[in-house]
Amino acid sequence: MVLFEVPGWSVPTAPVSKFAQSTSKKRKRPAAQDADKMQSVEVNLDKLMQKLGSVGKHQEDKQGPKKKKMNHKKTTGGLDAKVEHATSKKGKEKGSSSPGGSIKGGAVEQSVKGSLGPRKKIKQKKSLKPDGGKSEQQPQNVSPTVDEVSGLTSLQKGMKESLDGARFRWINELLYKSDSSEAARMMKEDPAVFHDYHSGFRHQVQSWPSNPVSHYISQLSSYPQNTIIADLGCGDATLARGLPPKKLRVLSFDLISDGAYIVAADICSHVPLPGSEPSSSQMSEGEAQIVDVVVCALSLMGTNWPVCIREAWRVLKPGGELKIAEVASRFTDVDEFVSLINSIGFKMKAKDDHNSHFTLFEFKKVARTSRTDKEWSKVMSNGGILKPCEYKRR
Ligand code: SAH
């Protein structure tokens, strides 16, 4: 089995499934209700972490290493009890960047509950006594495990990382396993979801030996002056930031705007750029487009991702280029993937599968005829050709 080899990534063999198809018998409810639950769980976890902050440190200060071990065990148990929905049954490692095993089936909803770890910095109490504990004549620096920067003990740090990791994996699942409208709705309701996803994504990117966006930056740098590029699913707009702005124009789209580079849009619904589709049975490339190159770098995420390719066609000038980079292990069948893209009105020009992690494609827009809604629905229903990309607990 070809796996995406970046540590911590794995892809299940099961086809794309929706949250609604969760195998969990216990907790079937609409995703909207999860958002409400998110709030209260977050508060509980915050309280718990704060409790750990004071109790754990106090006990360490007072009782020394022997007792500390006991309390460590106790408090870990307490946290497990609270966030057990976030962790798999095997999830007992400490200090890991994310809890639980790989999320599958019914475990998806469970991870929702516990994946909303505290985003606030937990302040380390120096002492619970007004005199700073000096009366007990304890050495000042009794705990070697307190991190100077974060102010967290190693236990707290590990827990925070676990919760952040679980939250990232939950958002990632949502993006890959649901229709983009669901992800768009949730991110609009709570933009912190978008922020947290990208923090986790940046963390992952650091461990990759190469990044498709870096490849596109160097490739597009040599394109002619005034080339117009649409980056669909731009993330942090790394492409726009990395290309010379006076030479190339990059239009960056993602679910949430940053108020600067990024235009908010659901790329699997409508890209807010001019362009039309053929209106008759005559071969045509549509009208009014301004875009020379469309880039989709790891952004074909929602189950309705083929709509994004249809949008790419609509906004591209005649003969325009479509560049796609995807995680290699997402492909159930590369030829079927290429056929699907071609059927939307493209011709494949190049494929690069030399990289063990990503496969890169270059397509050229070609003329096509109009299609009925029924014909389009058939083409658009083939999103299962790409499997979701899931992160494993590390
Ligand atoms: N292309 C960037 C980011 C990749 S992460 C890079 O390579 O660095 C994938 C991005 O696609 C995320 O930012 C996610 O929010 C975005 N995305 C996924 N589905 C989307 C949709 N339907 N509409 C807009 N953006 C989407």
> What pLDDT, in 10s, does the model give residues 216-231?
999 999 999 999 999 9
pTM across the whole model:
0.70
Order of strands across the sheet with 316-327? 262-264, 249-254, 228-232, 291-297, 316-327, 358-365, 346-352
pLDDT class of 122 with cuts at 50, 70, 90: very low
Number of Cα atoms under 13 Å in the Cβ half of residue 10: 12
What would the pLDDT profile of 327-356 be if each residue is shown by its tens digit? 999 999 999 999 999 999 999 999 999 998
Q: What is the pLDDT of residue 47?
A: 58
**Averaged pLDDT for residues 284-305:** 98
SS3 319: strand
For 235-245, write each residue's pLDDT tens digit: 999 999 999 98
pLDDT band at 145 (very low <50, low <70, confident <90, very high): low
Report whether 274 contacts 288 (CB < 8 A).
yes
pLDDT confidence of residue 154: 87
Those residues whose C-beta lies under 8 Å from the C-beta of residue 138, and which sit 6 or more positions away, are 61, 62
Coil, helix or strand for 210? coil
- Cα dihedral 359, 298, 17, 85 in deg (nearest 10): 120
How many Å is the maximal CA-CA distance in the chain? 90
Question: Residue 262: enclosing H or E segment and its boundaries?
Answer: strand 262-264
Residue 50 — very low, low, confident or very high, per pLDDT cuts 50/70/90? low
Tens of pLDDT, residue by residue over 54-96, are 444 444 444 434 333 333 333 322 222 222 222 333 333 333 3
Pick the most confident of 147-161, 180-194, 235-249, 314-328.
Answer: 314-328
The answer to whether 323 and 361 have CB atoms below 8 angstroms apart is yes
AA letter at 289: Q
State in Å: Cα 297 to ligand 1 middle: 8
In this prediction, residue 217 carries a pLDDT of: 97
| pLDDT-derived band at 137, boundaries 50, 70, 90 | very low
pLDDT at position 158 over 80? yes
How far is the C-alpha of 183 from the C-alpha of 255, rounded, in Å?
Answer: 8
Q: Which residues contact 172 (CB under 8 A, 6 or more apart)?
A: 197, 200, 389, 390, 391
388 touches ligand 1 (CB under 6 Å): no
CA distance 120 to 264: 26
Ligand 1, pocket-test mutation among 301, 315, 324, 357, most atoms within 8 A of CB: 301
Nearest CA to ligand 1 atom 13: 235
The answer to whether the beta carbons of residues 273 and 230 sit under 8 Å apart is: yes
* Atom number of ligand 1 nearest to Cα 297: 1
Q: What is the CA radius of gyration of the chain?
A: 24
What is the whole-number distance in angstroms between the Cα of residue 17 and the centre of ligand 1?
Answer: 19
